[in-house]
Structure formats: C-alpha cells, structure tokens
Structure 1
Amino acid sequence: MAKTVRASTHFIKWSDLYESEKPFQVFLDDDINQSGARSTNLTWEENDITVEDFRGDPQYNDIDKHGFTSRILSGFGNIQDMSIIEKEYIPAVSQLLYKELADAGTVFIFDWRIRDSRTNHPNGRVNFADQTVTLLPSNFAHIDMCPISIIKRIQENFPNDASKILQQRIRAINVWKPIDNPVEQWPLAVCDGTSMAPADLVETDSVRRDKTTTLYYARYSPMHKWFFLYRQTPEEALLFKHFDSKSDVGASFAMHSSVREHGVPVDALPRRSVEVRALVFSEVFDLPEE
C-alpha cells in the first residue's frame, strides 16, 4: 500500500474584490514602506491535504497523463558550489528533458533556484533578480507561469522566431530535486492535473523591480489529489508541467507546493533543494546567447 501523509498548505481565499481588482502582490519593500501603498490584495487560508507517494506506480511514468512524473538524475547529490549548477547541473537537466520528453526539439532553461528551509533574509527582503540568493520553501499552492507570461518570455528571448514558436507545441517544465539529504521536512507535493477544474485557479500579477509576471494561485478543493515522493532522495528528480499547449493530453499542468507534513520530528534534517525551469518547443531553434 502506498505511503500517505497528512500535511497542510495555503490556498488563495476567494474575495469578491477580485471581480473588480485583479489579484496582485508587490515585492518592492522600500518603495512600499515609503508610499504606504498596499503590497497585496491576496488573502489566504490554510487547509489540510492528504499526500500519497507515487514512487513505483507505472501510471505516473508519463508526464502527459497527470502533469507530473519522476526520473533518476544521478551525480548531483551534494551541491555546495553554486558554479556547479550552471556548469554541470543545468546541462544534465537539459539532457534529461531531451531524453525523456516526447517531441522535444528545443530545451531552453531560463531559471534556477536553490531553496533551503534554514534561510533567513533580514527584514524579509529578497533580491529575486539574483539567482544565487537562497529562498525558503513556498507553502502556497500555485503554478509558476500563466500563458501570458510564457508568451512574453518567448517574445523577449526569441524575437526572430517567436511567431514560429507560438504556432507549435510549447511546454513549461520544472525539474525539482533535493540536495544534501533525503527530504525529511517541507516535501514538494504536486496536484494531479486531472483532479483540477479551471475555476480552481486565480490569475495573479507578481510585481518586482524589473518586471511583472503572472502566475496562478489555487483555491482549495476536496477533489484535488496530491502526490509526492516520500523521503525523496537526491537522485530522484520530480518533473512537472506549468503549461502545455497540446490540447489532447491528459493534463497540461500540475500545481505544486511545499507542504507542512504533520508529525515531523523537531530534529528532522533541513531541506535544501534545487529547481530548474525550462521551456520546451517541438522544433529546433537557436538558443539565446548568454
């Protein structure tokens, strides 16, 4: 019998305000403090969920069926030197996606992050533009990218080929795995895309100094089915979709969240993880120069 745990995460709480004012969050701490403007109009509720281990279940081998899957990615069990991420780990993730995803002509990796449950940012201020800045696990059910953000990124990074790319299959994929040790606290859980309804998702603007991106936060539903890799090891990579333009797949996305597992011992090892986000196109295009 598959291992299941009880855990909790935060969901966006619906407000009638969103009918007249788009949900937003602003990360401009100094400016907000000086102007007195609101930093967000979002409200949250924390709900308990049941999370099931899908390790070894063949029905989850195909990312297109439920929006997520897992693969072995060896050789990066303890990353301490940040330069290894760009020099060795990113190429390994790219090779994994070319190998494991059907119809992958171009893999464009555009972002990576390290998260650590021991992170402490003074005054809560974070420079999101600096990829080397460590972040805390995110205990909010969400999908990183809305279609409009994906279109903008394609237009910015592939200005000469954007019109061609937008006529073919486009996927936004996340590759997530722990480093240092198996996950004992704050595991990453994914929600089966086939258990979600469009009304569960609330489009939200995230405003930062250099740009505004658009993501989805999720409303709670008892119909959601949550999965994870129980005590996920550093050699196990979790792959899940933020978006897929192909209309006849089982699931075009899988929302995710770091979850607060009930009954975790106080001496549980801290969680340290790396996540990589990529756009995948069905045809071959020249990648942008760094």
Structure 2
Amino acid sequence: MASTAPTDIQTKLKYLQWQASYTHARPYRIAQFGRKRKSDQKQKTHNLVFAEGDDIEIIRDVRGAEGKGDPRFTLDANGFVYRKYPPPLFTDPKEFAAPDHIQNAFLPQCEDMLKNEIEGVDRVLIFDWKIRKRKSAKERRKKNPDILSFARQVHIDTILTKDELATSFMARVRNHLPKDAHHLLDGRIQMIK
C-alpha cells in the first residue's frame, strides 16, 4: 500500500466580493428543488458575487502533524487541532448518506472527540450538520437537506442551518435543548462552527 506524502497546494481562492447593495440587503441564495416553473425563472435566486483573491494562497497539507500536544495548531490560536483518532464505526461512503446512522453512530464519536480536546467540557451537542459530496441522481431526487454539493468558494455553513436566519446562539440553545436551556444558559457555553 503506497503512503501518501503531504503536498502543499498553491491556488487562488474565491471570496464573496463586497457589493454596495449588501448594506441594505444581506447576501442570500434561494435553494430551489425540482423543476422550475416559468414563473420562477424570472425570480432572482441570489445576490452573491464572488471574486478570486489577489494573492496566491498556499494551502498546507498538515498530514504528519497529528501528534498529541503538537503546538503548531490549537483551537484558541487556529480554530482547529489536528489529531489522529481511531477510524469511525463506519467508513463506507454509502453509510454517510443515512442521516439516522450519522446521528446515532458517527456524531456521538465526534462529541467524544470534542470533549477530549476542550478542557472542562462535560457536554457536547452537535445540533446541525451537513455532508458535502457529489450527489447521485437518487440523492438529488430524495432532496435530503443534510447532503450538500461541494462548495466552490470560501465559506462557513452558518446560513444553511435548521434554525431561522439570524437566530442568536442563546435562542439556538433554547430551540435544541428546551428542557435544559435555563440551566445551561446560567453557566458557560460555547458554539464551535
């Protein structure tokens, strides 16, 4: 079995380009499923304008940096850590298309990893998640909201949540943990995107 050597990539990334209209209309994209009706064809589905960055970015391959306690990457300084954990309970890509399987098998493993990485954490809830992959024709027909196509620009998926747009973090806690919200909001909580 051939090992894969780390490889850095030089590229130009695409970013949302500021538009004067964003001062009075937030950037948006309307997702449309199924066939478009003639009346829908005139409706503007987004106001997004993307542009390549001016500089060539170097995307570093961090394989080999997964040693426990590696000082190069920390959650506080970089927003991520790179660790080697045992593989998930399932590794067949087809299994990632089953939302119940992800919810009941994969996410608990992710929650355990977060508890291990963040000091003082006694509870983790993954309240919204997405799988990014090339969709099969069958998956496109099923319209599974948890599976998204690959992104083509720099972004974070905070808009594509099950909560209403601009829902505050405290409201999200109340929405997803209604029985425990009062107790949790009396203590320290953190949202990691």
TM-score (structure 2 length as normaliser): 0.68
Match of 1:34 in 2: 39
RMSD, aligned CA? 3.2
1-side partners of 2:168 and 2:156: how far apart?
Answer: 12
- Specify which structure has the higher proportion of helix: 2
> What is the letter of the counterpart of residue 79 of structure 2?
G
- Residue 160 of structure 1, CA deviation: 4.2
> What is the letter of the counterpart of residue 78 of structure 1?
T
Match of 2:26 in 1: 22
Aligned with residue 127 of structure 2, among 110, 126, 130: 110
Aligned with residue 45 of structure 1, among 29, 44, 51: 51
Aligned with residue 92 of structure 1, among 106, 109, 113: 109
Match of 2:135 in 1: 119
Match of 1:220 in 2: none
- Residue 112 of structure 1, CA deviation: 3.4
Would the aligned equivalents of 1:60 and 1:68 in 2 still touch at CA under 8 Å? no
**Higher relative contact order structure (alpha carbons within 8 Å, sequence separation ≥ 6):** 1
- Residue 16 of structure 1, CA deviation: 0.7
2-side partners of 1:71 and 1:159: how far apart?
Answer: 33
| SS of equivalent to 2:174 | helix
> What is the letter of the counterpart of residue 46 of structure 1?
E
| SS of equivalent to 1:50 | strand
Would the aligned equivalents of 2:127 and 2:176 in 1 still touch at CA under 8 Å? no
2-side partners of 1:107 and 1:33: how far apart?
Answer: 46
Match of 1:259 in 2: none
| SS of equivalent to 2:119 | coil
Q: Closer, same or farther in 2 for the Cα pair 1:39/1:19, shift >3 Å?
A: same
Would the aligned equivalents of 1:24 and 1:40 in 2 still touch at CA under 8 Å? yes
Aligned with residue 138 of structure 1, among 134, 151, 155: 151
2-side partners of 1:128 and 1:37: how far apart?
Answer: 24
- Specify which structure has the higher proportion of strand: 1
Would the aligned equivalents of 1:9 and 1:140 in 2 still touch at CA under 8 Å? yes
TM-score (structure 1 length as normaliser): 0.48
Q: Which runs of 5+ in 2 are unaligned?
A: 1-5, 160-165
Match of 1:71 in 2: 83
Match of 1:7 in 2: 11
The alignment-based identity, stated in percent, is: 23
- Residue 50 of structure 1, CA deviation: 1.4
Bigger-Rg structure (1/2) = 2
| SS of equivalent to 2:48 | coil
Would the aligned equivalents of 1:26 and 1:39 in 2 still touch at CA under 8 Å? yes
2-side partners of 1:9 and 1:33: how far apart?
Answer: 35
1-side partners of 2:31 and 2:142: how far apart?
Answer: 8
2-side partners of 1:126 and 1:108: how far apart?
Answer: 27
Q: Which runs of 5+ in 1 are unaligned?
A: 174-241, 243-290
Would the aligned equivalents of 1:94 and 1:107 in 2 still touch at CA under 8 Å? yes
| SS of equivalent to 2:46 | coil
2-side partners of 1:103 and 1:15: how far apart?
Answer: 42
Number of corresponding residues: 168
Match of 1:254 in 2: none
| SS of equivalent to 2:149 | coil
1-side partners of 2:143 and 2:178: how far apart?
Answer: 27
| SS of equivalent to 1:142 | coil
Q: Closer, same or farther in 2 for the Cα pair 1:144/1:170, shift >3 Å?
A: farther
Q: Closer, same or farther in 2 for the Cα pair 1:158/1:85, shift >3 Å?
A: closer
